[in-house]
Amino acid sequence: MRPNRTNNGDKTTDELASDLLVKSFVKEMQLILEAQGPSAAVNLLIKNATEKAQSRPLLDALLLKARLDLGLQPAGIVSEHLSAELKIKYEDRYVEALRSVGQLLLDRGDIIAAWPYFRVIGEKEPVREAIENFDPSLADEHTLGAIIDIAFQQQVHPIKGFSWVLDRYGICSAISSFEAMPGDEKTRSEAAALLTKALYDQLQYSLASEIERRDGLRPTASASVREMITGKAWIYDDDAYAIDVSHLSSVVRLSPLLKSQESITLAAELAQYGTGLSDRFRYDGLPPFEDIYADHAIYLNALAGNDVELAVKHFQSKVRELTYEDDQPSDPLQTLPAQTLARLLFRLGRTEDAIAVAAEHLMEIPESYLMCPTVSAMCRDANRPDLLAKAAEKIEDWALFLGARIEELQSKTGA
């Protein structure tokens, strides 16, 4: 249907109506300016932009108000030759204006448009809160993709973004995205837990369906993977597998990051399932998890409180003396068995044993190589500066030695 044209040039009726509104608004601003002064006119401009959610006009109006309030030139760019005091005041108002515009957009549910304003002033929390409350089921693919980018890639709410990648695009995409997670252990642990639960649910469903197909009776929904595979060696007949084995190995490799007992239990059952797979699908891993499934099963079962001494002895047997080149380990992989043992002991609450392992094998390892707590961190956790002093003395780190002795003295004297 063609626009409703008039004989007034080529403008449509809607365009003419818009022109009338613009002229009316300009007239109103002019009258207020002349009768009530600049501040009242700017307030009208701010009100109009706010009601229409016009982000850039609102920002410009707020900055105009700031210039008027500070006695600066109303139009144009603020001079670079301002006094330090005025410059700080204007910058504060600039930040306030950006925050106000960003919040206006958030209040209207426009996370994508709001984020650039908060990004400029380095404030993630309001956008993070909006993402936390966002319902992805109400968004189209393009909108959700843009919000995932803000949440995950731009690290505003990485766990929420990662969960949407997992839910919308699947385990394969989530595993590929995992390496882009922030380096802090808490966030990576939460992401690993989401992956573990998703893969466990897949395996649980697949095993239940296979058992129903063969036996004619489906296990209850509460039946665990461990319960379903116990006594059923036929599940692995003819090199069978119930889920993507590359997904299984990837998720099991991440399992040492897990913190909650629920996630650890699920991962232990995933590893147990993996131990029964054909050798064709049991890939080699990095030390001390050379047998990905069997070694991780031992580690995870210990964290779950089962066969703890067996696990400690198992990983003790894998620790080797390190070789060095130019004061650096000749192969960083050599440090992994000692790190794993120290981390396991620390997670089991055997902090002094963990300190002993780390003091013997890891004191001279750069912190950037470590995936276990440092000796200093473990000694502080155990409130044992004396052990830190002994470890420092062994490698002749006299500043660390003295610092530890001072802490020890202070703890005794209450200074």
Q: Which of 244, 278, 311 is the last residue of a domain?
A: 311
Is 237 a member of any domain? Answer: yes
Going by C-alpha positions, the residue among 158, 186, 154 that lies closest to residue 174 is 158
Q: Which of 68-77, 213-222, 336-345 has the lowest mean pLDDT?
A: 68-77
Distance CA 319, CA 140 (A): 52
Q: Label residue 23 by pLDDT band (50, 70, 90).
A: confident
- What is the arithmetic mean of pLDDT over 212-237? 95
Is 266 a member of any domain? Answer: yes
Is 100 a member of any domain? Answer: yes
Residues 244 and 204 in one domain: yes
Residues 156 and 252 in one domain: no
- At 42-52, the pLDDT tens digits run 899 899 899 88
Rounded to the nearest integer, the mean pLDDT of the chain is 90
Residues 38 and 116 in one domain: yes
Residues 51 and 145 in one domain: no
CA 318 to chain centre: 32
Residues 282 and 306 in one domain: yes
Tell me the backbone φ, ψ of residue 230, rounded to 5 degrees.
-65, 125
* pLDDT at residue number 1: 41
* pLDDT at residue number 20: 76
The fraction of the chain above a pLDDT of 70, given in percent, is 92
Cβ–Cβ < 8 Å for 258, 189: yes
Cβ–Cβ < 8 Å for 317, 308: no
Is 367 a member of any domain? Answer: no
- For 334-374, give the DSSP string: GGHHHHHHHHHHHHTT-HHHHHHHHHHHTTTS-GGG-SS--
* pLDDT at residue number 414: 65
CA 359 to chain centre: 31
Residues 193 and 272 in one domain: yes
Going by C-alpha positions, the residue among 394, 305, 302, 283 that lies closest to residue 340 is 302
- At 71-126, the pLDDT tens digits run 888 876 666 777 888 888 989 999 999 999 999 999 999 999 999 999 999 999 99
Is 371 a member of any domain? Answer: no
User: Which is higher by pLDDT, 333 or 266?
Assistant: 266
Q: Which of 311, 334, 361 is the last residue of a domain?
A: 311
- What is the arithmetic mean of pLDDT over 145-165? 96
Strands (E), 79-209: none
Is 98 a member of any domain? Answer: yes
Residues 234 and 278 in one domain: yes
Residues 35 and 70 in one domain: yes
Residues 113 and 98 in one domain: yes
- What is the arithmetic mean of pLDDT over 140-155? 95
Is 201 a member of any domain? Answer: yes
* pLDDT at residue number 15: 67
Is 359 a member of any domain? Answer: no
Is pLDDT at 411 greater than 90 in this prediction?
no
Cβ–Cβ < 8 Å for 115, 156: yes
- What is the arithmetic mean of pLDDT over 170-180? 95
Give Dmax (Cα) for the chain.
95
Residues 110 and 153 in one domain: no
Cβ–Cβ < 8 Å for 356, 330: no
What residues make up the domain containing 257?
183-311
Q: Which of 3-17, 156-170, 267-281, 378-392 has the lowest mean pLDDT?
A: 3-17
- What's the structural domain count of the chain? 3
